[in-house]
Amino acid sequence: MSVANPQGKSALRMRCAFISDVHLGFRGCQADYLLDFLNNIQVEQLVLVGDIVDLWSLKKTVYWPVAHHDVLRKILQMARSGVKVIYVPGNHDEGFRELCGAEVAGIDIRRDFIHETSDGKRYLVVHGDEFDGAVAFSGLLRHVGERLYDVVLFAARRVHAVRRGLGFGYWSLASWIKQRVPDARLYTERFEQAAAHAAARVGLDGIICGHIHHPGIRTVDGVRYCNDGDWVEHCSALVEDQNGRLSILHWTGQVDAVIPVIEQAVESDVAALDYAA
């Protein structure tokens, strides 16, 4: 599973990696963790499942630190080096949906597509905002929820900075709060059902998406639902190994110290892996 990359560091080799909800241009983006992930994997295919650049946030205020630029540069470098890069724009970068069907700088831009794993399973790949109508709450509740989420993310950035300064590992305040809010759990359940049913309607084995910042793999009414999570709260990716097995990878620690743990977990076909020192 681990190989030597060109810099001589130990790297993780996988068939495909799916990332979404990076939100470059947003202050809550954990670009440094994502850049470390991209620098320490070897993949045949990288799938960007939407909300890579947060155009909504950039319209409000311009925020573009070096780490955000480096992430884009790394993705372009991967495309030039022979990695098949597919980009499915989301709602926060929906301006790029006008380019669907084109190839830009070696990146294939699509509205959606079907991914076939090495063991022959077929998955619909979409960002996920297509299912908002099926899980919609009242307009007032949605508006209040969005404002509260912004406040929580602001507080989470402060908590993370303090914890990092004290030498503690990564921990998501936003995720911790969402897990304890009944309406948030109900929204997630409705979203998973709507996504799984969309894949079932077209006769596919499963669906791969992002959008709701909640990574996970589960079976819903006989359909495999896979959400790769995000790089704001969870620093997670969905990865496929050479045998077609799908796992959730959390990348929030030092790489070299934990590669053997990842290998053992993948071999055991565990669905969720914590990649933390």
Tokens 């997630």, residue located: 188
Please report the pLDDT score of residue 9 as a whole number.
53
Structure tokens at 9: 């560091």
Number of folded domains in the chain? 1
Q: How confident is the model at residue 187 (pLDDT cuts 50, 70, 90)?
A: confident
- Residue 10 confidence (pLDDT): 66
The confidence score (pLDDT) of residue 255 equals: 38
The Cα angle at residue 75 between residues 159 and 44, in degrees rounded to 5: 115
Q: What digits encode the pLDDT tens for the residues 206-261?
A: 999 999 999 999 999 999 999 999 999 899 999 999 999 999 999 986 433 333 33
Q: How confident is the model at residue 142 (pLDDT cuts 50, 70, 90)?
A: very low
Q: E-strand spans in the chain?
A: 2-4, 10-19, 41-48, 84-87, 103-104, 107-109, 113-116, 122-125, 206-209, 216-220, 223-227, 236-240, 246-251, 272-275
* Mean pLDDT rounded to a whole number for the chain: 81
Give the three-state DSSP class for 138: coil
Written as one letter, the residue type at 12 is: L
> What's the pLDDT at 141?
38
Burial bucket for residue 161 (CB in 10 Å: 0-12, 13-18, 19+): exposed
Range name among 97-106, 126-135, 153-162 with the lowest pLDDT average: 153-162
CATH of the domain at 77: 3.60.21.10
Backbone φ/ψ region at 217: left (φ over 0), alpha (ψ -120 to 50), beta: beta
Please give the residue that has the higher pLDDT: either 258 or 14: 14
Average pLDDT over every residue of 139-154: 49
Q: Pairing between strand 236-240 and 10-19?
A: antiparallel
**Amino acid 188: pLDDT:** 86
103 touches 63 (CB < 8 A) = no
99 versus 233: the higher-pLDDT residue is: 99
Predicted pLDDT of residue 8:
43
Alpha helices per DSSP H over 107-227: 139-165, 173-178, 182-201
Between CA 102 and CA 249 the distance in angstroms is 30
Mean per-residue pLDDT for 13-30?
96
Domain span at residue 24 reads 2-275
